[in-house]
Amino acid sequence: MTAADIIALLEQQFGSRIQSKNLEAIDPFVVVDAADLLDVCRFLKEDSRLHFDVLNCISGVDYLELDPKKAPKAGFDPHMEVVYHLSSFRHRHRFVVKVMLPRWKDNKPGELPEVPSVTSLWPTANWHEREVYDLSGIWFTGHPQLTRILLAEDWVGHPLRKDYEYPLEYHGIRGR
C-alpha cells in the first residue's frame, strides 16, 4: 500500500481526528492529537489492510531556536514532536505517525507534556518510551514502569531538550 492509500484509509476511518497530513515529505506522515493516538495506532495495527505489526522507532524531537534573534525566522513555533516509525511484516510498507506537543504541559516549565503509551500495542515501545522520557522529557501515561533507562536514576534534566543546561558537577565529578 502506498502512503497515499494509507492516509486515505485513515481519513475515511477517523475523519477530522487526523489533524494534518503531509504527502510531499520524504517519509509521508499524519499528525494526530495525543488523545487520539491510541485509537489511530490500534487501527493501524489491527486493520488487516494495514497490519503495522512492527514499531521500528519512537523519537522525540525538540523544536526550539535558542537564539532570540533567529527565533522569528526559524520557521517553526517552539514545540515537541513524538514520531512513530511503523512498518508491516506482512505487507512490507512503512508509515509515520506524529504527535505535536507543547514543550511544557500547560506552559509551566518543568511539567512534562503527556502522551498515552503504546506499550500495550507494541511491547517494543516499552524501552523506546523510557528512552524518549529519559532523553527528551516526555511523559508517557499508562506506561508500566516509566523510569530512566540510559542515564543514572538521579540525573537531573533531559539532555535532548534544546535548552538543557549541562551539569557542572555530578557526585563530585566535575563537568565542563
Minimum CB separation from another protein for residue 171, in Å?
15
Find where cell 506537543 sits.
Answer: 101
**Which residues form the interface with another protein (CB under 8 A)?**
25-27, 53-57, 59, 61-63, 70, 73-76, 83, 85, 89, 92, 96, 122-124, 126-127, 131, 135, 149-152, 159-160
- What does the alpha-carbon distance between residue 15 and residue 39 come to, in Å, rounded to a whole number? 13
Nearest one of 83, 86, 30, 29 to 53, comparing CA atoms: 86
Minimum CB separation from another protein for residue 82, in Å?
11
Minimum CB separation from another protein for residue 24, in Å?
9
Minimum CB separation from another protein for residue 139, in Å?
19
- Residue 35 or 61 having the CB closest to another protein: 61
- Residue 4 or 61 having the CB closest to another protein: 61
- Residue 26 or 173 having the CB closest to another protein: 26
- Residue 73 or 108 having the CB closest to another protein: 73
- Residue 35 or 155 having the CB closest to another protein: 155
Minimum CB separation from another protein for residue 15, in Å?
26
SS3 81: strand
Nearest one of 145, 148, 126, 123 to 136, comparing CA atoms: 148
Task: Write out the three cell numbers for 152.
Answer: 543514572
Q: Which residues contact 159 (CB under 8 A, 6 or more apart)?
A: 135, 151
Burial 14-40 (b: 16+ CB within 10 A, else e): beeebeebeeeeeebbbebebeebbeb
